[in-house]
Amino acid sequence: MLQIIKSSRATLLIWAIIIGLFFIGKLTFLGPLSPEQQYTLLVLVIAIYLWTISTMPQGASSILVLALIIGLGVVDEPDQAFQGFLTTGLYFIVLLSLISQVLVIIGFDQMVARAFQKFSRGKVRRIVISLPVLMVLLPIILPSAVARYKILEPLIKRMNDLSGFSKQSVFNKFGLFVISFLNQKGTFIVFTGGGFAVIAYQLMVEYDIAQIQWLEWITLMAPPLFLITLITSLLVWFYFKWRSGEEGSEVVEQEAGHLKEVREEQHPKRWYVIVAFSFMVVAWIVTDPTVMPIILPPMFMLAFLAIPTIGLVDNKLIRSFDWETFLLLGTSFSLGFIMADNGTAEVVATGLIQLVPNGASGWIMVVYIILLMGIMRWMFTNSTSAIVVIFPIMMSYASLVDISPVALALLIMTVIGGTILIPIHAPTTYYASQAGVYTKGEQFVVGVISSSVASGVALLAVFLYW
């Protein structure tokens, strides 16, 4: 027992600080809040600690958060603690993840890589120009940022080697930046582009903000996202060029050696998947989500691929899903809903808005919201869990700022999804950090550049477009 205590001193100290501050708060600044709101804030702080700096496994820590919600009386009935597990957005992520795995099984990722390889024709200029555009459009047909990274990372490496560039070349650094940082931002060009976009869309539905159609979502998000991609790509390219001292024109004019096309045996059931996937996308495009829920097409597709004669979806595939993430997201949803239901989110928002000078204009208010979200984003290791908790707090500002709820929701999504400052903020940026291509300082700088551009464009879109 003494050995366990000695090895857990830092953890015990953190717990003591959290509990000590809570009881001090109950006697001071938390006094006006109801007991349920006080304990909700305590659970929120504990959850942030468990999901960020704690070494406790995410699945077990999520169960602990659920236990605290019930044990501290934050909810009246135990069933209310699990309401986050009843949202369709959570199961939509599961379905899209499984479908992405099926696409990899049939070699769809290699099809994309070969098509991109043929388009580039071994020319570095074509890669540099087309890669950012591809990262914006690819989520439409491949709803997994990690899968997109895994497809293009080997291709970029081969192009870099065949061009005779060093491992730390401008081209290699820029390519990794695009498939990591811009890859994450490209996710939300459609609400089916990945887990974060799905969650953002579902939050808009759950909080009765709007049910936006698939094409309408693209219309709202594509112009700002292309602008973010263009500005960020230019700034980061010239930053890497300045850092390395290479002549950018010489790099892009370089022609790589012949890229040997890898020909693999085509999966015999690939057309079943391609046709089913096409029908799923068409269903999203032509149907009204208020009539046909967006979760129905992937459900039917997965069931179709599980037919014994096809057999691409089996128990082994389903067991391979990251169920720790399922527990974390479900618990995050529950906590977010509880904060909105018992008024904790509104109380926090009202308290924070008092820091803004009286009579501040709408622009100042929105800038303040962006800065506040940027600070809160630091507390989470991934954007998906961040938006679930932050969304209800920020939406409480809708009545205080003169912008539409839809514009505010899209602002929240763009800022939180676009704020990636350190490697652990997204799986793809973590993978890129392990490649040994650019330094931690360079990764932080490009993170600041890309995050600042995303926030700036979102600010303009709120008043000029959305």
Mind listing the pLDDT tens digit for each residue in 369-402? 888 787 777 666 567 767 777 787 777 766 666 7
Q: Enumerate residues 6+ apart whose C-beta is below 8 A from 371.
A: none
Assigned token pair, 112:
């994309």
Identify which of 25-29, 199-203, 264-268, 300-304 has the greatest average pLDDT. Answer: 300-304
User: 132 or 430, which is more confident?
Assistant: 132
Say whether pLDDT at 437 is over 80.
Answer: no
pLDDT score for 376: 73
pLDDT score for 166: 74
Identify which of 288-302, 307-321, 342-356 has the greatest average pLDDT. Answer: 307-321
- HEC-encoded secondary structure of the chain: CHHHHHHCHHHHHHHHHHHHHHHHHHHCCCCCCCHHHHHHHHHHHHHHHHHHCCCCCHHHHHHHHHHHHHHCCCCCCHHHHHHHHHCHHHHHHHHHHHHHHHHHHCCHHHHHHHHHHHHHCCEHHHHHHHHHHHHHHHHHCCCCHHHHHHHHHHHHHHHHHHCCCCCCCHHHHHHHHHHHHHHHHHHHHCCCCCHHHHHHHHHHHHCCCCCCCHHHHHHHHHHHHHHHHHHHHHHHHHHHHHHHCCCHHHHHHCECCCCCCCCCCCCCCHHHHHHHHHHHHHHHHHCCCCCCCCCHHHHHHHHHHCCCCCCCCCHHHHHCCCHHHHHHHHHHHHHHHHHHHCCHHHHHHHHHHCCCCCCCCHHHHHHHHHHHHHHHHCCCCCHHHHHHHHHHHHHCCCCCCCCCHHHHHHHHHHHHHHCCCCHHHCHHHHHHHCCCCCCHHHHHHHHHHHHHHHHHHHHHHHHHCC
pLDDT score for 359: 62
pLDDT score for 425: 65
Structure confidence at residue 67 as a pLDDT band (50, 70, 90): very high
Say whether pLDDT at 326 is over 70.
Answer: yes
pLDDT score for 255: 52
pLDDT score for 403: 76
pLDDT score for 411: 87
User: 415 or 90, which is more confident?
Assistant: 415
Mind listing the pLDDT tens digit for each residue in 215-272? 888 888 888 988 988 898 889 888 888 877 655 444 444 554 444 554 556 777 888 8
| Residues linked to residue 255 through DSSP beta bridges, in sequence order | 123
Length of the chain: 466
CA angle at 426 for the pair 375 and 219, rounded to the nearest 5° = 85
Say whether pLDDT at 102 is over 80.
Answer: yes
pLDDT score for 13: 79
